[in-house]
Chains A and B, each alone.
Chain A
Amino acid sequence: MKKVFGILTVLLVGLTVLSGYFFQAQLSPVLALIFQTGLVLFSAAGLIGIGYLLVLHIRRVIRGEKRIIQSVVLLIAFLIALIAGFVLTPQSTLYRDLILNVQIPVEASLLAVLAVTLLYASLRLIRVRGWTPMSIAFLGSAVFSLVLNSGLIQVSETSLGGRILAFLERLPLVGARGILIGMALGGLVMGLRYLLSLDRPYGGE
């Protein structure tokens, strides 16, 4: 019964939203209800996730488990951001600087670490796999892409070199177009699978 209820709910909501593309005026009140309910559920899921994370770290602090310092820092940062948001409101310049001046360097540093990590991973690939056609192709394409992105090679667009360069720069676009087509087809198929109840992530299947 529970499974049937889930399937019916998904089917009704999906078909109603899909119909809303064609009958917007008629289905506007129903769509409003669906979207507001969806937003509330989405927000509630976020709150549940935050609550679970807090409980996990609070439990770790109480039990004195490993990495207790990280948990303490996380809890303090969370409380500061929460209290500052309630007291100062997000429109406050102080609150904005408080958040962004921490968040931007931290996230940007993570990206920098990611770049160096990828570099190390490339070298390890050669060490682990040796000189295989795949590793050679990977290394060659990586170096070639980096050189192209560095802007060191600049030729006139009308010259032969410029045309060759433009051709080489278009190669990633070919892959990008293929990925876009694949994403579109994949989205279409997944939508159909949900509507036809072939995939039921809500039901544990």
Chain B
Amino acid sequence: MPFLICPDCGAENPLTAEICQVCGASLADVIPMDMDNSEADDGENDEFTLFSAEDKDLPELLNDLKQDHEPAGGGLPEIDLAGEGESSEVDDTPEWLDVIRKRAHEELDAAGEMTQRIVAAQESLTRQNEEERADYASWIEELRKETREEAVSGTEGQEEEPLEGPAPEKAKKDWLSRVRKASGKLETHDEPNAASRNLLDWLVALEEEQTGGMPSGEAGVTQPVDLRQRAHADESTREVRVGDGAQQAVAPKRLDLSREEREQADLLATTIADESTARPVQPITFGRRRWWVEFILAFFLIGGICFVLFSGRLFLLPEPPVTSGGQAVLNSVADLPEDAELLLVFDYQPAFAGELEWVAAPVLEALPDSVKVSVISTSASGPLLADSMLERLEIIPAIDLGYLPAEAFGAYGLAAGLASTQAAEFLPKGASELFEGEFHGILILSDNAERARVWVEQLSVLTPETPLNLLVTAQAGPMLRPYVDSGQVTGMMAGISDAAGLETSRTQGPNASQRWQAYQVGLLTLIGVLILGVLLNLRGGATQGDDI
């Protein structure tokens, strides 16, 4: 009974079917086959009736195989190209297998490109590390098994077809392509298993390179090599010496550089070589200094500031507002209970003494008389600065804790000492008393955001119930503002502007306000000079020797 064999999956389909019932492939051009006729003719006219006319170009190897013997058990034994184990199996193996082995030895390309590639892949894998080798070996083993199964099924399907004697060279190629098609994973570039093919092509290409063939291209520059094209350009079966791979010397690996990397390397080499190149020294010439510009600038800057300082307030300039942080500091100090203990931390350099004295003045003046003030310094000049400020404000400290070398002592000293008086035993004598007292409030006077940050982070965790306030310079204020917003710090006054606003609200003397206005005049002068300087120097490039 005739039927249609699917060209893709090999399934049998009735004559009326237009597509394969298994895989759905089109059966439009498939020629019907009659299994009964083939079987009836078997043995009578083997040479010409076992295969259909379409398969007249089967390779000689397969024809011999079909004509001589049928495969036992329906499976194709594994081809042993190296001939290993031949002596032990010579008595058991059928004659057709001996024919295959003989042909495999005589014609090294008779094993087919697929087998050669697999063997080449095995040789290449031996040079990889153990882990990769295990992976690839398992994959190749799986591939071999799958290929064998497909080949066997394909052979079984062709057994009934007639043979037509020796096939030409073109027929051999067709046979190889059929085997590839049957394997599924070794298809040509227009087939879906491109990824597997890529890997196999890569292995074959690696084998070719190690056997001496280098990809064409510019020496030393890695160029993209289309392994697929190379593999298909050499479509015919190539000879692979099985077993020679392990004996071949492993060529040293080349350093693969992309074009960009090579350009960067060249640039680096050029730069290094250029460093020692002698160059003419261009003399520096100073241009004519515009002394009158500097004089005008100094006149307006110094004169404006002095005018404000010595003449009183300029009502043209707005008064600074009262900040919420400054008001919080003032409220925190004013709300201290009687006989409360307040800790003053002096942590600033003499350069900022003028600013911080004005910042601290409104707060310290608001202190109740009954409050006991303890003083500790964490800068080298701190004790002198604290003494000077408190004397000016007529505040007599109850306890002078002296100097705590905070920079050498670090944040850990504060944390350990505050957490446990036992741990504070190793502190300097004056500083150790710091951690024995219980303070109702802490005021930190600092010009450095980093050092103030250490105090805040340690104190806000170890003594969260103690109000912590910051009196800092305008420079350190922005860096410490997040601690105020997060609530770790009760309040903060930053710079003379906050002090002036607080002073204005308390209708006290004009000292801070005067200095704030002097500061404003100085800032306005700088802004004006900056803008004028830019407008008067609109030339694009600079010439060496020119001065502003």
> Known contacts A42-B408, A176-B481; is A35 also within 8 Å of B530 by CB?
no
Nearest Cβ in chain B — how far from A34, in angstroms?
A: 8
- Stretch in B42-50, B81-89, B228-236, B538-546 touching the partner: B538-546
Q: Are A151 and B381 in contact (CB under 8 A)?
A: no
Q: Which residues of A contact B (CB under 8 A)?
A: 17, 20-21, 24-25, 28, 31-33, 35-36, 38-39, 42-43, 90-91, 96, 99-100, 103-104, 107-108, 110-111, 115, 119-120, 122-124, 126-128, 130-131, 139, 142-143, 146-147, 149-152, 154, 172-173, 176-177, 179-180
The CA of A28 and the CA of B526, in the complex, are separated in Å by 54
Q: Are B384 and A99 in contact (CB under 8 A)?
A: yes
> Known contacts A32-B426, A127-B542; is A176 also within 8 Å of B478 by CB?
yes
Q: Are A123 and B530 in contact (CB under 8 A)?
A: yes
- Extra contacts besides A39-B408, A107-B350, A119-B533 (10): CB < 8 Å: A20-B416, A28-B425, A38-B408, A100-B350, A107-B349, A127-B548, A152-B520, A154-B318, A176-B478, A176-B482
CB-CB nearest in chain B for A111: B351
**Interface size bucket, B side?**
35 or more
The CA of A152 and the CA of B422, in the complex, are separated in Å by 53
> Known contacts A127-B539, A127-B542; is A151 also within 8 Å of B318 by CB?
yes
CB-CB nearest in chain B for A122: B530
CB-CB nearest in chain B for A20: B416
Q: Are B541 and A130 in contact (CB under 8 A)?
A: yes
Residues on B with C-beta less than 8 A from A131 are 540
Residues on A with C-beta less than 8 A from B533 are 119, 122-123, 126
Q: Tell me what chain A mostly uses at the interface: helix, strand, loop, or mixed.
A: helix
Residues on A with C-beta less than 8 A from B361 are none
Q: Which residues of B contact A (CB under 8 A)?
A: 317-318, 320-321, 349-351, 353-354, 381, 383-385, 387-388, 405, 408-409, 412-413, 415-416, 419-420, 422-423, 425-428, 453, 474, 478-479, 481-482, 485, 497, 516, 520, 523-524, 526-527, 529-531, 533-534, 537, 539-542, 546, 548
Q: Are A104 and B354 in contact (CB under 8 A)?
A: yes
Other-chain contact of A24, B320, B351, B422, B542 (Cβ < 8 Å) = B422
Residue of B384, B485, B529, B542 with most chain A CB atoms under a 10 A cut-off = B384
Residues on A with C-beta less than 8 A from B318 are 151-152, 154
Closest 6 CB pairs of A and B: A32-B426, A107-B351, A42-B408, A123-B533, A103-B350, A150-B523
Q: Are B416 and A21 in contact (CB under 8 A)?
A: yes
> Known contacts A123-B530, A139-B534; is A104 also within 8 Å of B478 by CB?
no
Q: Are A123 and B537 in contact (CB under 8 A)?
A: yes
Q: Are A177 and B482 in contact (CB under 8 A)?
A: yes
Nearest Cβ in chain B — how far from A118, in angstroms?
A: 9
The CA of A32 and the CA of B385, in the complex, are separated in Å by 29
The CA of A40 and the CA of B66, in the complex, are separated in Å by 98
Residues on A with C-beta less than 8 A from B350 are 100, 103-104, 107-108
Nearest Cβ in chain A — how far from B46, in angstroms?
A: 79
Residue of A91, A119, A120, A124 with most chain B CB atoms under a 10 A cut-off = A119
CB-CB nearest in chain B for A147: B527
Nearest Cβ in chain A — how far from B31, in angstroms?
A: 74
Nearest Cβ in chain A — how far from B445, in angstroms?
A: 15
Q: Are A90 and B409 in contact (CB under 8 A)?
A: no
Q: Are B540 and A130 in contact (CB under 8 A)?
A: yes
Residues on B with C-beta less than 8 A from A119 are 526, 529-530, 533
Q: Are A24 and B423 in contact (CB under 8 A)?
A: yes
Q: Are A28 and B423 in contact (CB under 8 A)?
A: yes
Residues on A with C-beta less than 8 A from B516 are 151
